[in-house]
Structure 1
Amino acid sequence: MRIINIVLGCILLSGVFYSCDSYLDKEEELPMSFEKIWENRTYITQSLSNVWGYMTDPSNMVDSHPFIGASDEASATYNREYRNMNFGTWNPTSVPYNKWSQYYRGIREATIFMQYAPDAPAPNLTSAEREQWPVEARFARAYYYYQLMQMYGPVILLYDEILDFNQPIADLQRPRNTMDECVEWVTAELNACAELLPAKQPTQYYGKPTKGACKAIISELLLFYARPLFNGNLLYADLANPDGSLIFPGIATVDNNRWKYAADAAKEVIDMNLYDLYKVETYGKIDPLKSYQGVFLNLWNDEIIWGRYLNGYLARVHTTPRVAGGTAFGGVGPTQQQVDAYAMKNGRYPITGYFPDGRPVIDQASGYEEEDFFNFEHPIDGGGVKSTYKMYKDREPRFYATVLWSGCKVPYAGSSSIVNFGFNGNSGGGVSHDYPKPGYMTRKWTDPTLNTAAGQWGNITWPIFRYAEILLNYVEALNEYDPSHADILPYLNLVRERAGVPDIEDVYPEAVGNQKMMQELIRRERRVELAFENKRFFDTRTWMIAEEVDAGPMWGMNTSSAAPSSNATQTPAAFWDRTVFETRIFDKKHYLYPFGQSELDRNKLITQNYGW
């Protein structure tokens, strides 16, 4: 009992969150006894909050999450650890954003709470709280395991064990479980939670787990499990524990049934009939711009299955150009590859590939042009742009809701300034950071009603899982399992309809029944619909295309160009040339995180991931 006291008290009472590097580390004893915690309702609620305290802030795309800045969709200009990932300068002794110990601490705290809260002697703890709070902790534990599996693959399952640190260190060591065991156990845990959690939480508890949140995690987990990284991958076929047992048994053989399980999991969420795509109608028709914007600006709308209610500062300050004023220091923006990924308003994707010198291969039927300028009225900002590059003409609505390019009006209340991302421009280079290297900025999280110069950043509901993703999960899995399935077109077209682009069969009739072509179209749809939501990083890895798309030249506009007059608002003519802003490295070993060397030194039963 004393050991458990030490474990929980370390975090709950001292506030020292980083004193424990591994689940093998011992804790220091602190004053409050373990028994006292469960006698007081306030301490019990703090203990539950502490369980959730190990969750990473998904909106902090600079300091907490590497996933936006370390994928081909974006660049984050700041000198953070994701740059080591982009340039291949990381290794087991220096693992960027190493979440191993953080999530295991959360797992341990959740298990303790699950075991002791139901029978806690606190007199004012209701029966509903005794029943529901341990289930919430159980959900958090499963989610932390899933987060570890995304990064490391198979991990160490502790199940309901609370380790006794008085044991010799040799008795505390554990090998990795198999990938199959991890998937099966986490799925079973989430299914058990789904049976006990409410379908919807009361308004004051939005953000707490629900049945839908459980099923959404299962949907993504089983989809990733069906994809090539874990299904037919020869790289990991011989990876074994010290006793010779394979960590990825059967991985070399493609199991097509996994796609069916993934499709069924997504359909379970759909069939709950609790969620819908967020839509705004004008004169009886969907307004695609207001609809797509509204997903991220209207708190707790019906599209969000599970999210976090957060202060908008971290998401917005990094995606707000300097000219907007206040504390804005925007440096997160789309790559040219991401800009190229958006369709035209006729629904066709304009760029089908690239020549060796980086020039785009253009689909002439799309109507796309890249030469010269045209007079343009931005569909969101009105007449702030009088002339702009033809690259941005007639693009789909999600493009205008997501991409801020040089020459646009600052999309914030109280400003009529024009953004210049050129060198020495009002929001461009010439400073050590605080500018987007590709010459674009992400405006997806922007609330145009806020005056950022006055310090208004508002709040956001960051969508960890939303209904559009579930629809895309469903059609991807169906296309891989049964490309003739009748649900593929209607469910894919639900996402496209809300986005304001024609049905896929009207634009690409040749793709109907063509599994490979439909696969590419579904992946393109996923890339633009879920852009900058921490999804692309894992998509490129689980599809095993990261060696192709996350490596090599990253393109943007020529942000080193400067107007002769150094006009802070006038984008220089030379800016509009496709330019490499950095060259990235992605090797086969980068598909999974390495285990930190300190962890390998402590636990001799852990097998390092491939290539590290």
Structure 2
Amino acid sequence: MKKKIHLLLGMAAIICGLSFTSCSDFLNVEKYFEDAQSEDKIFSDDMYTLQWLSYCYSRLLGDNIEVGHSRFCPQNFADDQVFSETYGRYKAYKLGEIGYGYSYSGYYQNAWKWSYAAIYQATVLINKVDINQDFTPEEIQDVKGQARFLRAYFYWMLLRRYGPIPLLPTEGVDYTKPYDELSYPRNTYDECVEFITSEMVQAAKELPEKRDNLNLARPTRGAALAVRAKVYLYGASPLANGNTEMADFTDKTGRVLIPQEYDESKWAKAAAAARDVIEGDWYKLFTVKKRETAAKGDYSYPKTIDPPYNKKFSDKPFPEGWADIDPFDSYRSLFNGEVFLFNNPEIIFSRVVNDAAADFDNLGDYSDVVQLVKHQMPSSVGGWNMHAMTMKQCDAYDMADGNPYDRTTGMTGFASSDNKADRPYDNLEDGVWLGYANREPRFYASVGYNGARWNCTSAIGTGAVNVINKQVWYYRGETDGRSNSVERWLVTGIGIKKYINPSDCANNSGSITQKPEPALRYADILLSYAEALNNLTTTYEIPSWDESTTYTISRDVEQMRRGVKPVRMRAGVPDYDNDVYGDRNAFFDKIVHERQIEFFAESQRYYDVRRWKIAPEHEGGQIYGCNVMMDKEHAEAFYTPVRVTGVQTAFSRKQYFWPMNYDELQRNRNMTQAPGWQDYD
């Protein structure tokens, strides 16, 4: 392009601040250009065209982020995390009491209107950009592909949250018409899936396979196909495939919006779509080479701890084993900003650095991963000490040999030089509870357990010695422990280290490394492939996305291994035995567990337990943590599981989907409410 716009999101958007107070405000941003120019004039100019496209990208921020803190990203909190930031809001969120008529009605309301504003803008661009003579035909195709991807992506985000949604006409909407004439009913779930997936195929034909390092926030062919695979997976899952519990989810005419008949072939389509991404060979799991010695003088880069010896995997290089990689640092560095996105082969799509609050008054707050990190970091190193891991999540991490952790039979007492020989697979400091010993590498990359060290190596000045490699305690009476006067303490006594870089420090002139948002990564595609195959009882012949070949799709154990084994090897834990692969129910349980660990704090668990229809038993269960009332003098009692006081959890049918906003129900006479929520008719 003659003028290249570098879309590191948050810095790119030119147009913002829509009020959405009328139909024309809701759908038209033409008036926000410097001159009241016609669309024809806008799309004949390359810079104005890119500004128009940039607006669509800007709507991916705020309430539409996929990894972030609780103000924007409540779906990042399922049964695995708790936030004490505005604690009453968390309790309301867990009980499904957010929305019109509740105390926190103003939260999480922008996703719907922002998405549809972007969908409209993208549609206009797709239909108009061909008149542009400043672009080459190849550049027009790319711009059109980006807009098509974004339109389908916004629909995808809406589908996950709200269930069946209205699909606007692809030829565009005449926003000059009265609003009653623009009232669109919900389409069926299957219609939404078919539209999004078909649009992603077309986008894949229009988008390039790779981007340079100045355009990493723009989608590629692989990103379009990966989203397509996710959409098919959700469409095949129990929530949307033969779900008779949702027979009353209808439109105004009585048309049932959730398929009532189970269709196994949907799993085959999901598997074939994931296979398209795998066969594309665009991505691979990120790994860090084995570290033979510790970084001199730096606690934060220890010598690689070899997982327990396994004759099948210990002596083989990745991905057949883990002999040449550091499983702990491979997982840790994937998220903490250690590696630039351009050099990370696992991230498929990302908003990159989405710190746009300084540019857009309507965001109101920063929504990037750095802000998530600040919410996780202890107060003593400048953090806000608000996001805590549940005991359920902490205990879900396996032992180093891959066996489940069992609190009733696990080690007790505290780490010391006397028991180091009993725990060869950790770097626990003296005084740390031995329940945290000998756990799998992802545990140490994710859990900020009581007594963990926070490296804070960017701290400088005379006070730096007080925070660099600081051991942080959550006992009552400690700086970061329970406090009755403020909300900045961890209600479970278990911190979170995922996304934390060893250099991150929020005081003593330290800094926090920028981290790319992992909205969609290759590990997800691999595990989705295995999950989809597991649900097949017959064989299907399905064409590839471009119809260049045909896949034979069946419950093939070796193909299932192709999806699971690399993820397990990168984590330094053994692959499953044949008896697990051979048992459909046992394998499903393993997939549920693996996704809980691998995708912790990535807004996956929230949607997973819903699409599998296991949310009542998981999100409906009470939240447990350590006994944060205990001080250091009663250290052993601190680790006694106690229910988090003041948080009553429940899960009812209405919490499968988000409620339709009251204003939208009043404006759109054809809109229906999701089951269980008040419709205000």
- Establish whether TM, by shorter chain, passes 0.5: yes
Counterpart pick for 1:575 among 623, 635, 638:
638
Letter in 2 for 1:220: K
Shift of 1:22: 7.0
Matched, 1:218 2:228: yes
CA contact (8 A) 1:92 1:594 kept: no
Counterpart amino acid of residue 602 in structure 1:
R
Structure 1, unaligned runs of 5 or more? 1-10, 352-359, 363-367, 565-570
Query: After superposition, what is the alpha-carbon deviation per residue over 1:257-309, rounded to whole angstroms, capped at 9, x for unaligned?
Result: 11111111111111111211112222652210111112123222011111232
1:60 alignment partner in structure 2: 68
Mapping 1:89-488, distance limit 5 Å:
89-93=97-101, 94=105, 96-98=107-109, 99-120=111-132, 124-248=134-258, 251-282=259-290, 285-296=324-335, 297-300=338-341, 301-310=344-353, 312-325=369-382, 328-351=383-406, 369=410, 371-375=412-416, 385-413=429-457, 414=459, 415-430=468-483, 431-453=485-507, 454-482=509-537, 483=555, 485-488=557-560
What is the rounded CA distance, in whole Å, between the counterparts of 1:558 and 1:320 in structure 2? 20
2:46 paired residue number = 41
How many Å apart are 1:165 and its aligned residue? Answer: 3.1
Partners of 2:349 and 2:97 in 1: CA distance = 35
SS in 1 for 2:613: coil
Deviations 1:2-28 (A, max 9, x none): xxxxxxxxx987732344477885769
Name the residue aligned to 2:606: 537
Q: Distance in 2 between matches of 1:441 and 1:270?
A: 35
Change over 3 Å in CA distance of 1:25–1:285 after alignment to 2:
closer
423-432 or 589-598: bigger deviation: 423-432
Q: Which amino acid letter does the alignment assign opposite residue 108 of structure 2?
A: Y
Distance 1:381-1:324 versus aligned 2 partners, 3 A rule: farther
Aligned-partner residue type, residue 48 of structure 1: L
Q: Compute the TM-score of the two structures, normalised by the length of structure 2.
A: 0.79
In the aligned structure 2, how far is the partner of 1:458 from the partner of 1:393?
29
**Matches of 1:24 and 1:179, distance apart in 2:** 28
Q: Structure 1 pair 391/157, CA: closer, same or farther in 2 (3 Å)? A: same
Sort the Cα spacing of 1:133 and 1:20 in 2 relative to 1 into closer, same or farther, 3 A.
farther
Q: Secondary structure at the match of 2:117?
A: helix
Structure 1 residue 178 displacement after superposition: 1.1
Tell me what 1:6 maps to. Answer: none
Which secondary structure state, in structure 2, belongs to the residue aligned with residue 138 of structure 1? helix
Structure-1 residue corresponding to 2:16: 15
Residue 673 of structure 2 is aligned with which of 598, 602, 608?
608
Whether the aligned pair in 2 keeps the contact of 1:24 and 1:172 (CA below 8 Å) is no
Distance 1:266 1:342 in 2: 27
> Counterparts of 1:373 and 1:502 in 2: how far apart (Å)?
28
What CA distance in whole angstroms lies between the structure 1 residues aligned with 2:556 and 2:128?
51
Contact 1:148 1:155 in 2 (8 A): yes
After superposition, the C-alpha distances for 1:411-463 in whole angstroms (9 at most, x for unaligned) are 32151322122233222221422222111121110110344322411211221
Q: How many residues align?
A: 571
Q: Which moved more, 1:396-405 or 1:29-38?
A: 29-38
| Alpha-carbon distance, 1:252 to partner | 2.6
> What does the per-residue CA deviation read over 1:79-112, in whole Å, with 9 as the maximum and x for residues that have no partner?
1745422133234553741311111011111112
Residue 496, structure 1, aligned to residue 539, structure 2:
no
C-alpha spacing 1:27/1:492, structure 2 compared with 1 (3 Å): closer
| Compared CA separation, residues 259 and 102, structure 1 to 2 (3 A) | same
Structure with greater strand share of residues:
1
Task: Provide closer, same or farther for how the CA distance between residues 562 and 17 of structure 1 changes in structure 2, counting only shifts above 3 A.
Answer: farther
Distance (Å, rounded) in 1 between the aligned partners of 2:625 and 2:574 = 28
Conserved? CA contact 2:503–2:512, under 8 Å? no
Query: What do you get for the CA RMSD once the two structures are aligned?
Result: 2.6
Q: Distance in 1 between matches of 2:521 and 2:92?
A: 31
Matched residues in 2 for 1:422 and 1:390: separation?
Answer: 16
3-state SS of paired residue (1:540): helix
| Structure 2, unpaired ranges of 5+ | 1-11, 293-322, 356-368, 460-467, 538-554
2:84 is aligned to 77
CA distance in 2, matches of 1:119, 1:434: 55
Residues 291, 23 of structure 1: alpha-carbon distance in 2 compared, 3 angstrom cutoff? farther
| Distance in 2 between residues matched to 1:14 and 1:292, nearest whole Å | 37
> Measured at CA, do residues 536 and 18 of structure 1 come closer, stay the same or move farther in structure 2, by a change above 3 Å?
farther
Letter paired with 1:105:
A
For the Cα contact (< 8 Å) 2:145–2:204, is it kept in 1? no
1:518 to 579, 587, 590: 587
* SS of 2:516 mapped into structure 1: strand
Q: Is the 8 A contact 1:322 1:329 kept in 2?
A: yes
Cα distance 1:190–1:487, how it changes in 2: closer, same or farther (>3 A)?
A: same
Say if 1:140 and 1:345 are closer, same or farther in 2 by CA, change over 3 A. Answer: same
